[in-house]
Amino acid sequence: MSKRRRDARRAKRRQQQGMTGMEGMSSKQLQRAMSSMDTEEIHDVIEVIVRTRTEDIILKEPEVSIMKMGQEIWSVVPTSVERRQPGTSLEDAAEVILDDEVEIKINDGDVQLIVSSTNVDEDIAISALKKARGDIAAAIMSLS
């Protein structure tokens, strides 16, 4: 049996089993395919809005990446999700966040966790928490 015919049969069998794309690849083939992908990160994203007929879904402060494999595949991972009725205007419902005016509640437990994890003073830990907008993990990473 020729290689071409064997490959066609395998592809047909995978398709019948619902295995299209990367599911049927060996780990080496998958690594090769992943290394050939063109990936782009989009930084400083504030929000992504998904509008449907019944609601608006706001994905707050997401990590956004684009993978290009013949077509663009967008990956959006939000830190929080907000849902609104479609009639609500964005201006009425939006929270305007300016870096100088953000009020972040910092509790002592968070500060102590950062101090013990990074061996820095409390003032430095508080400053890192403010810069990270209350995100403990980001504050620790910025001090490491």
Q: Note whether 74 and 31 are same-domain residues.
A: no
1 and 25 share a domain? yes
Q: Is the pTM above the cut of 0.95?
A: no
| pLDDT one-digit tens code per residue, 23-39 | 667 778 777 776 767 88
Dist. CA 84–CA 90, nearest whole Å = 10
Q: Which domain holds residue 51?
A: 37-95
Domain count, the chain: 3
Residues 84-134: tens digit of each pLDDT:
877 655 444 433 344 444 566 778 888 888 888 888 988 888 888 888 888
Work out the number of other CB atoms within 10 angstroms of the CB of residue 112. 12
Look up the CATH number of the domain holding residue 64. Answer: 2.20.70.30
